[in-house]
Amino acid sequence: MNDSKIIFAGPVGSGKTTAIATLSDEPPVCTNQIATDMTKVRKSKTTVAMDYGTMTLDAKEKIHLYGTPGQERFNFMWDILTTNGLGLILLLDNTRRDPLNDMSFFLESFKDYINETSIAIGITQTDIAPLLKMNRYQQKLKQHGVSSAIFEVDARSFNDMSQLVQALLFSIDPGLEYSA
Ligand SMILES: Nc1nc2c(ncn2[C@@H]2O[C@H](COP(=O)(O)OP(=O)(O)OP(=O)(O)O)[C@@H](O)[C@H]2O)c(=O)[nH]1
Ligand SMILES: [Mg+2]
């Protein structure tokens, strides 16, 4: 797999598939299947393997976007997809019961990858459930020893998602620029 890739992770319904569809230059590849379990309560379809899209960096270089399945039972894909790459975008769904706990879970699950690369965090669905105080997220990040940009985003918004990608790229190399 190409080195110029970004991984999207986060719980079911946090907007990973939507974000890749929003950002991708080409129609994305997705592996959404009808949900047959608890996931169904939240939405009808869920990713079972991965999402894939691309975007152009610096008018020349392509960045490959990979979305992971949110369901833990597909977590073998998390390891497969986090080989190499530039960094991780963690999407958290603010309507879930405990988004701070979700953040801890994913920081822990992707710990090695985050240590080797970089991370940026987007909190979605804040139009439905009001955002917890941002400093609660910052404190939790600190407890994990992680430094990350963190924004309220809507995965359906190109502007929001490209801001998040830019923050990730900036944390890797302030010279990298994404030409939206
Ligand atoms: N209201 C609102 N809806 C959002 C926002 N961000 C994403 N969505 C919607 O939330 C849903 C997210 O679904 P997906 O993109 O399939 O979520 P996912 O993270 O890929 O989920 P899994 O593949 O099951 O892990 C979609 O219906 C989006 O349109 C937001 O900020 N506000
Ligand atoms: Mg998905």
| Strands of the sheet with 119-124, listed across from one edge | 29-34, 45-57, 61-67, 5-9, 87-93, 119-124, 149-152
pLDDT of residue 175: 75
Res 38: pLDDT = 58
For the record, the structure tokens of 129 come out as 């459930």
Closest CA to 65 of 25, 11, 102, 32: 25
pLDDT at 61: 82
Position 174 scores a pLDDT of: 79
Q: What does the DSSP 8-state code read for residue 18?
A: H
Give the C-alpha separation, 168 to 15, whole Å: 17
Distance separating alpha carbons of residues 92 and 103, to the nearest angstrom? 7
Provide the pLDDT for residue 77.
92
Q: How many residues does the chain have?
A: 180
pLDDT of residue 165: 96
Using a 6 Å cutoff on CB, does residue 163 contact ligand 1? no
125 pocket-lining for ligand 1 (C-beta < 6 Å):
yes
Mutate-to-test residue for ligand 1 from 12, 17, 94, highest number of ligand atoms within 8 A of CB: 17
| 120 CA distance to ligand 2 middle (Å) | 18
DSSP string covering 150-164, please? Answer: EEE--TT-HHHHHHH
* Per-residue pLDDT, 177: 63
For each successive 10 residues of the chain (180 residues), what is the average pLDDT?
83 96 95 75 85 86 94 92 94 94 97 96 94 89 96 97 95 73
The protein residue with its alpha carbon nearest to ligand 1, atom 30, reads 125
pLDDT number for residue 1: 46
Q: What's the confidence (pLDDT) of residue 3? A: 62
